[in-house]
Amino acid sequence: MLILASTSPYRRELLQRLRLPFECARPDVDEAPLRAESPAQLVRRLSLAKADAVAGRHPEAWVIGSDQVADLDGRILGKPGGRDAAVAQLTEMGGRSVRFHTAVCLRRGAHALVAVDLTQVRFRALAAAEIERYVDAEQPFDCAGSFKCEGLGISLFDAIESHDPTALVGLPLIALAGLLREAGYAVP
């Protein structure tokens, strides 16, 4: 049994690409950063915590926990939650580079495998009207960084530097496929 410890439609859609049967379960984890916790530490801790929360209810299953944190000059950017916050985030990121830390954990019982991907996104200079058109068109209020790179958000960038293009969407499939093979799954 394979369980994705997430209710994110983005992660569910990504995991479906691997063509493995799985279920989804809500992890119910407090995602607030700890004091002095770096973005890399936070994302690793949250991926483990999400997997742990669901694995405790399903000890026989392999559980996938994942999390992503946007990092602007070492400062964690949360999900905007609404239009004004999304416009403010994109305004601040215009013409700058933002790092996205994405961690994935595969856990069953005491056995945990973890991988972390780092993606750097270089935003082009963005005019206020462009930002507003984009935010109104895609409403990326539940996305770290206030964009959807798999949609119109790609037009906001000069470049994306990553080892895994799926990591920026929220689940690093290259790393996860390796973890699943290590756990005994036949992928592909």
- Strand residue runs (E) in 43-140: 62-72, 75-77, 97-108, 111-123
145: phi then psi, degrees, rounded to nearest 5:
90, -5
Q: Of 67, 71, 117, 164, which one is the catalytic site residue?
A: 67
Active site residue 71: no
d(CA 11, CA 95): 28
d(CA 172, CA 98): 17
Q: Which whole-number Å values give the CA distances from 72 to 24, 93, 122, 147, in the listed order?
A: 31, 8, 11, 15
Contact predicate 180/106, CB 8 Å:
yes
- Give the position of tokens 């690793």: 44
Q: Which whole-number Å values give the CA distances from 130 to 25, 79, 84, 96, 124, in the listed order?
A: 37, 20, 14, 16, 11
d(CA 91, CA 111): 43
Residues with a catalytic annotation lie at: 67
